[in-house]
Amino acid sequence: RIGITHGSLAIEGLHQPNDHPIHPEAASRAGLDYLAVGHWHRWQVHDGGRLVMPGTPEPDAFDHADGRYGALVELTAPGAPPKVEQLELAGLRWETVAVEVGGPENLDPPAALQRPLRGLLEEAGKTVLRLRLTGPIGPGAKAGWLEAAEEALAPFVAWEIVDETHAEWSAADWRLLEERSPVLAGVAADLARLRALATGEPGPAAGGIEPLPAADLHALLAEENLDLAGLDDGFFETALALLSQQLEQEERS
């Protein structure tokens, strides 16, 4: 006896009540030799091989990258356990690569990107690639990384860049910022001072740039109806990232 159905497996936290939940041992409970199930896009085998959810022949998202299979099922006799063979059907590979942008070994973005991608280039025409850029990055550096990333990813059939970097400026970065844009340098120094006041932790050193006095900063916050206690690290990371973008735009103009 063979069954076929569609719905989510009734696994705690992985299904909705209205999504036709199917017990993982539904085949045995129904007296079936085998139950083929469709819905989730990743490979699942339950009930001693009597219930198989093979996923999709071709993945459609990075979190479904393990759903590229079909199932070849052999039933030798009523009641006998099925023989299930996993067959890979997908024509495309879905890969995720993470690159840390900080560190002295990554001063050259094209070279830093080439190392982790080298092993994937042979199958680039059949690979969908997600590149995650992570770690600290100084002002003005992001544009170079993104440009190098787009060039490095060009051979792949499809790709996306996920920017998970955060702004972190060294003393040399501060000096360079002051030379290039004193106004932006002053704003960045004020943000660093505010961050220290809000979080109790020292922000990025502002070099020789003198921020506004604390009283003036509090007055500016009051004018904008901003509560210092409500400003967290995420706020300051976003503000520094926006300053970096502004600096990059000024350099390109």
Q: Taking the CB of residue 40, how many other CB atoms lie within 10 A of it?
A: 19
Q: What are phi and psi of 58, to 5 degrees?
A: -135, 125
pLDDT tens readout for residues 5-30: 998 888 877 767 777 789 999 999 99
Q: Which pLDDT does position 10 carry in this prediction?
A: 85
Q: Are 167 and 137 in contact (CB under 8 A)?
A: yes
Q: Which pLDDT does position 168 carry in this prediction?
A: 76
- Give the CA-trace dihedral at 220, 225, 229, 234, to 10 degrees: -90
Q: Which pLDDT does position 209 carry in this prediction?
A: 62
Helix (H, G, I), strand (E, B) or coil at 173: helix
Q: Which pLDDT does position 124 carry in this prediction?
A: 96
Q: Which pLDDT does position 105 carry in this prediction?
A: 62
- Give the CA-trace dihedral at 167, 168, 171, 174, to 10 degrees: 10
Domain chopping of the chain, boundaries? 2-88, 93-167, 171-252
Q: Which pLDDT does position 214 carry in this prediction?
A: 79
pLDDT < 50 regions, the chain:
none
Distance between CA atoms of residues 73 and 76, nearest Å: 10
Give the pTM. Answer: 0.69
